[in-house]
Each structure stands twice: as structure tokens, then as C-alpha cells.
């Protein structure tokens, strides 16, 4: 009788452990790895200011993959580069 009880306890513990492991594996698969940033050599430090021609929002770009990158978009329109070209 006590052996049967001990057997049931062991089975229950095993099942519980299995559930915990499956749960953690599931959670781990949900946590996506953070994408690697591009190598620093591919990014250029820039100091470009863009202004939205529609709502006048200004943004400053501090890093880009090109010295003269594509302008960002705001209000569905390309933003205007307002940095003087001398500053590039």
C-alpha cells in the first residue's frame, strides 16, 4: 500500500516536472531573440534634419547606412532635408 502510494507520488512529481519543462520551452519559443544590429562599420554617423512639408514636424537622423540616406516619411510624404549641405 505504501509502495503504491510512493509510486503515485513519483509519477505525479514526474508529470509536474514535465509540465513545467514544457511550459518553459513554450515561453522560450515565444520570446523572440533581439535582432542583431548591423555591424558598426556599415552605419555612418550623420547629423541630418528633416522637416515634414505638411505638418512641419522635424526629426534628426543620427545614424544611417549611407551618407545621404533616403529621407524618412511623415504624413505619407517624403520629408524635406533642411540640413545645410555644407554641414554634411
Binding site for Zn ion (CB under 5 A): 52, 54-55, 57, 74-75
Compute the least distance from the CB of residue 50 to Zn ion, in Å: 10
What DSSP character marks residue 76? T
Residue number, 43 or 52, with CB nearest to Zn ion: 52
Residues contacting residue 47 through CB under 8 Å, at least 6 positions apart = 60, 61, 62, 83, 87
Compute the least distance from the CB of residue 53 to Zn ion, in Å: 8
Residue number, 43 or 51, with CB nearest to Zn ion: 51
Amino acid at each position: 500500500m505504501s509502495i503504491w502510494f510512493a509510486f503515485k507520488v513519483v509519477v505525479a512529481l514526474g508529470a509536474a516536472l514535465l509540465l513545467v519543462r514544457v511550459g518553459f520551452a513554450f515561453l522560450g519559443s515565444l520570446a523572440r531573440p533581439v535582432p542583431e544590429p548591423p555591424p558598426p562599420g556599415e552605419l555612418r554617423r550623420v547629423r541630418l534634419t528633416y522637416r515634414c512639408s505638411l505638418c512641419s514636424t522635424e526629426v534628426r537622423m543620427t545614424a544611417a547606412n549611407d551618407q545621404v540616406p533616403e529621407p524618412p516619411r511623415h504624413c505619407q510624404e517624403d520629408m524635406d532635408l533642411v540640413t545645410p549641405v555644407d554641414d554634411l
